[in-house]
Amino acid sequence: MIRLRAATLAAGLALLPGWAAALDVRIEGIEGDVAANIRHYLDDLDPEQFSRTRVEGETQRRAREAMRVYGYYEPDIQLRLDDRDPPRHVELVIEPGPRVTIERIDFTLAGDSREDPPFQEAIDAFPLAQGDPLVHAPYDRLRSRLANLALERGYFDWRFTDRRMEVRPFAESARLYLALDSGPRYRFGDVSIRGSHIETDRLRNMLTFAPGDPYLAGELARYNQRLGQSGWFGSITVRPRLIEGEALLQEAEAEGFLAELDAGAVEEAGPRLEMAAVDAASAVVRRGPPEVPIDIALTPADRHQFEVGVGYATDVGPRLRFSWEQPWINRYGHGLDHDLFLSAPEQRFSGVYSMPLEDPLRDSYRFQYGLRHRDNKDTRSLEATVEAARRWEFENRWVQTLYVRSTYEDFTQGGDAEQVLILYPGISWSRTRTRNPTFPDWGDRQRIAFEVSDGLWGSDADFLRMTGETQWIRMFGDDTRLVTGVGIGAIETDDFGKVPPSLRFFAGGDRSVRGYGYESLSPRNEEGRLTGGQQLLTASVELQRRLTGSWWGAAFVDTGDAFDDWGPDDLNTGAGLGVRWISPVGPIRFDIAHPFDDEDNAWRLHFAIGPEF
């Protein structure tokens, strides 16, 4: 019955206008890659477009061509078509015959490329050796690779002085010849910047190369990326200057080299060189001094950028965020950002004024200010903060921030009311690395900070505060993902009552210990009210497994607490199952967790939108 239905469906489709079926191919006498290649060559052969005799001839021709690239130059191919008109089935009985083997390999380099390691490495990586069966593809790939290297590394006068594959089927032998004369290696020339509203000295300080350095296409891609990261520009074009030499461009296009050329990875998910830059590089003048002038064309980014976000999380319920960003406000590249966040337990307004220094992406001064109101469980707080900070980013991507913060907080915590004005300097080190930030398949985040307040400089509270956290994401294969993390904190003080709630420790919630309410874990006073803790310890392990497509299942265990003395007798632990959906707007996470140390609640639901970090 199944076969009858399939045949009826095929017959019905064949009657549809414009429907064409490829030949059904059966092959005997050869298998593996060679047989697969024959089927590939015959895939688009439409028997309705040819006479029966032509179909036979075309099948023979394509099959022989498919076998030739694997070194079979004299196969005996017997074929039989079915009796239908047009035919739909062909049987190939193949006697492959002798296979050509490599008798000689002669690959040479001339010009400056002889002293440039990637060229010799490409030749050394050629997978075939004398006496091996001939396969065309590795030779073609090497030819393309050498041409790509020449363009990527500034050998704009390159040419192949010899590129031959001599095949002698009667002798069952082949000789491979490839000789590249790269000519001299060009160097970066003068850099011309136009259209910038930012001081050009700042942009030159961001260069990843200097005039006179050996040309590398990847450096142009890196510089393009750095300009984009500044946020100052709406459009960016970084390209070698097009002078003349169209013949070189046409030759590269004819060989198909440019279709495969890219700048390579600069970082984990590094930038790729745009084809416009490659095209321009390919057309650099072939005569004259070996220098490549670089032209940079820029247009300003919008001076005012607005964003509105609406979301929901179990911890805070519905939430609304409104941001107003000014990526540049003057020719020095200073920026100003404002952010308004509204939810039931918390409302805050903050602003950041940034002043880039000599290396704008790595060094800056930042001035922040903010107002925050909190009304959550046993915490009532109205807070005003100002901060001045100096930021450095190092080559290893660690960010060091040295800051001085002043906070006025009028609060009631656990029934105890207080007003404090504290001035405390601090220092932090942090680093975040991810691949595919929306739903990372690899990433980690670390942060550690120290803050100190003392009455010697007018603070109402004396304390030393330390916080630290680490989170890790790793993939195992394509369908298993591990997310884990640890958080710690400690406050050393003689009068904990003077430490405001914004600096005390609480645990529990969507991003802490699931199974427990938002900031519901902390020491309690005699009346059973939350007071916040002097120490914090949390840990989480989550294993995710792809269910299908963008849907993932998760199993997790969280543990932790906020407490007054190190070495808590019992950590609060929750465990559960969840679902992750990688939606167009970002990951959506739904969890159901069981709190093992909360007798009043058997289960708690957690819902959040956004990546882990």
DSSP 110-169: EGGGGG-HHHHHHHHT----TTSBP-HHHHHHHHHHHHHHHHHTT-TT-EEEEEEEEEEG
Instruction: Tell me which residue of 69, 45, 73, 49 sits closest to 59, measured CA to CA.
Output: 45
| Inter-residue contact 544 to 587 (CB < 8 Å) | no
- The two structure tokens encoding residue 223: 């510089």
> Is residue 257 scored above 80 in pLDDT?
no
Task: Report d(CA 553, CA 563) in Å as an integer.
Answer: 33
pLDDT given for residue 243 in this prediction? 56
Rg of the Cα atoms in the chain: 34
Q: Is the pLDDT of residue 147 over 90?
A: yes
Strand 76-81 to strand 604-609: parallel, antiparallel, or no bridges (unpaired)? unpaired
- 144: pLDDT confidence band, cut at 50, 70 and 90? very high
Distance CA 541, CA 543 (A): 7
Q: For residue 281, is pLDDT > 90?
A: no
286-313 pLDDT per residue, tens: 454 588 999 999 999 999 999 998 888 7
Distance CA 548, CA 439 (A): 15
Residue type, 516: Y
Q: How does residue 568 score in pLDDT terms, banded at 50, 70 and 90? A: low
pLDDT score of 567 more than 80: no
Q: What is the pLDDT of residue 356?
A: 95
What's the mean pLDDT when you consider all of the chain? Answer: 87
Q: State residue 167's pLDDT score.
A: 93
Percentage of residues of the chain with pLDDT beyond 70: 88
Q: Does a cis peptide bond (omega within 30 degrees of 0) precede residue 86?
A: yes
Residue 213 confidence (pLDDT): 94
Order the strands of the 233-240 sheet from edge to edge. Answer: 187-194, 291-300, 233-240
- pLDDT attached to residue 242: 57
How many whole angstroms separate alpha carbon 539 and alpha carbon 488?
9
Q: In this structure, how many other beta carbons lie within 10 angstroms of the beta carbon of residue 415? A: 12
How far, in Å, CA of 420 to CA of 251, rounded?
Answer: 74
3-state secondary structure of 261: coil
Please give the distance of CA 500 from its chain centroid, rounded to a whole number: 39
> Rounded distance, CA 98 to CA 414, Å?
89
Q: Distance (Å, rounded) from C-alpha 491 to C-alpha 449? A: 12
275-282 and 136-152 helices, crossing angle to 10°: 80
The string of pLDDT tens digits covering residues 16-38 is 444 445 678 889 988 899 999 99
Average pLDDT on 88-116 reads 93
d(Cα 555, Cα 581) in Å, to the nearest integer? 15
Q: Lowest mean pLDDT: which of 197-211, 232-246, 572-586?
A: 232-246
Q: Dihedral, CA atoms, 277, 280, 282, 284, nearest 10 degrees? A: -130
Q: Which among 340, 336, 311, 335 has a CA at the least distance from the CA of 323?
A: 340
Whole-number pLDDT of residue 276: 47
pLDDT of residue 1: 40
CB atoms within 10 A of CB 12: 10
Q: How far apart are CA 206 and CA 363, in angstroms?
A: 11
pLDDT at 162 over 70: yes
Average pLDDT over residues 44-52: 82
- Mean pLDDT, rounded, for 443-465: 96
Say what the pLDDT of residue 245 is.
42
The CA distance from 348 to 340, in Å, is 6
Residue 13 has pLDDT above 50, yes or no: no
What does the pLDDT look like over 360-391, one tens digit per residue? 999 999 999 999 999 998 999 999 999 999 99
